[in-house]
Chain A
């Protein structure tokens, strides 16, 4: 197998080869490190590459597998983490000068769980500063590029995760998501990104942005791989006060290629509104995806969720207020260490009143209630993942992106699981994602529908031209 073929294997495919000893973790890890060396100068998806450590882990995994101690589908699989997941003894920066020299003394729970599953950590990935700012050249860290077109952003805030998975620079990654930071880059890079239910995956040891909105989740090339990574990281963590004790199902068992009998609701009044700030081409591509879901057996119906119109106001007020509470001391004492974009947005969070924050939380409850009512009639809710295709670096303006409707933020408010699965490309060759959201803790249904759709349209066969 060539280096490219090795790096384009899915986690599932590589796992079979590793388990059957047809492939060595050392050979696989070396292929990824070589590819990073060759391509990442232009993609800028990594902040830190852990070459020596990764090769050492690979040799250890190889020895374990050879002596029959195979740990499971992530054993020997090279992955990388968004650089806000704490890694013991490895610098974790959140892409900010504020944390430029921060070396955690302990792993995040998710970091530790992926290590326990036998994965190989290739490095730490670029991101928007503190998971919010945007592609800000003043933050002092690399700005990941979109592998489908280097002139465009890969989305954010898990920008490096989106770019690296799409370009075959790691087999899977963890992103974090407060308003769409997993699903956005997944959509813009034509990969799969899952924001699990709030409380499903521990956030212990992950630099926070907004405690009531933050989620951690996998970003991979296929839905099957997302299920594998979710299985490794899901479950109760006593170190995270928001962690759920709900039992963890077997996610691989949910990957049945069948959506017959599934009812999918579409709130057209919001996601397909006649609004000039929503991209028509994106809507058209997702309409085709909805037709495909119908053709393969799902029932697609229109639903109404009137309070969705308030989500765009509620989510940022909560997010920025909570972000200011976390960053207040540094914003007051060393504002020059923040990049321009994130500093301005965090400062805005300082200016909301307590009444406004609380009203946003009250409205959030109304939104949750309306979704709950609709989810009694449907299994899933579908929409475009993003209201617009990726923006170009040239002329990027944070206010322009702030003004476009967020199609992902509502699910951070409700805490529902939501996935982005690739569904097509626009005329410029930029990817478009389909978003499917489900009932709390019903990741199996979300995964099943996304898996069925992905197996049918087979966009995973098309890699970016890097």
Chain B
């Protein structure tokens, strides 16, 4: 998704089917502007320089097996 400049309806159908959503053509057409907007936004997230220590998810080694 991140690389799409303006996704085609066929590509959008493929993505939505993969997510388990069976969308009609008019639904895909209605979804496209929002998808394209976020696709453009997401590209920016990959421009930022991140360190290897910039984790997305952290698990504590101190978890309590009783809880």
A residues neighboring B (CB under 8 Å): 307, 309-310, 312-314, 316-317, 320, 324, 328, 331-332, 335, 344-345, 347-348, 350-353, 356, 358-363, 365-366, 399, 402-403
CB of A365 within 8 A of CB of B19, answer no
14 A-B pairs with C-beta separation under 8 A: A309-B44, A310-B45, A310-B48, A313-B38, A313-B41, A313-B45, A332-B20, A347-B16, A350-B19, A350-B20, A353-B2, A359-B46, A362-B50, A399-B37
Give the residue name and chain of the B residue nearest to A348 (CB). Answer: B34
| Residues of chain A contacted by B15 (CB below 8 angstroms) | 350-351
Cβ-defined partner of A362 (8 Å) among B35, B42, B54: B54
Q: Given A328-B20, A332-B20, A351-B1, do A360 and B45 touch, yes or no (CB 8 Å)?
A: yes
CB of B41 within 8 A of CB of A312, answer yes
Cβ-defined partner of A363 (8 Å) among B1, B2, B30, B48: B48
B residues neighboring A (CB under 8 Å): 1-2, 12, 15-16, 19-21, 23, 30-31, 33-35, 37-38, 41-42, 44-46, 48, 50, 54-57
Give the residue name and chain of the B residue nearest to A314 (CB). Answer: B45
Q: Which 8 A-B pairs have CB atoms at the shortest separation, nearest pair first?
A: A350-B19, A313-B41, A361-B56, A358-B56, A362-B56, A351-B15, A362-B54, A332-B20
Measured CB to CB, the closest approach of chain B to A426, in angstroms, equals 27
CB of B45 within 8 A of CB of A344, answer no
Task: List 11 other contacts, CB 8 Å, given A316-B38, A359-B45.
Answer: A313-B41, A313-B42, A317-B41, A332-B21, A347-B21, A351-B1, A360-B45, A362-B54, A362-B55, A399-B34, A402-B37
**Dominant secondary structure of chain A at its interface with chain B:** helix
A356 to B56, CA, bound (A): 11
A332 to B18, CA, bound (A): 12
Q: Which of B30, B35, B42 has the most CB of A within 10 A?
A: B42
Q: Given A345-B34, A362-B56, do A350 and B16 touch, yes or no (CB 8 Å)?
A: yes
Measured CB to CB, the closest approach of chain B to A234, in angstroms, equals 22
A344 to B37, CA, bound (A): 13
A175 to B30, CA, bound (A): 30
| Residues of chain A contacted by B30 (CB below 8 angstroms) | 344
A129 to B37, CA, bound (A): 22
Give the residue name and chain of the A residue nearest to B30 (CB). Answer: A344
A403 to B33, CA, bound (A): 11
Measured CB to CB, the closest approach of chain A to B54, in angstroms, equals 5
Measured CB to CB, the closest approach of chain A to B37, in angstroms, equals 7
Q: Given A312-B41, A359-B45, A403-B37, do A344 and B31 touch, yes or no (CB 8 Å)?
A: yes
CB of A344 within 8 A of CB of B34, answer yes
Measured CB to CB, the closest approach of chain A to B24, in angstroms, equals 10
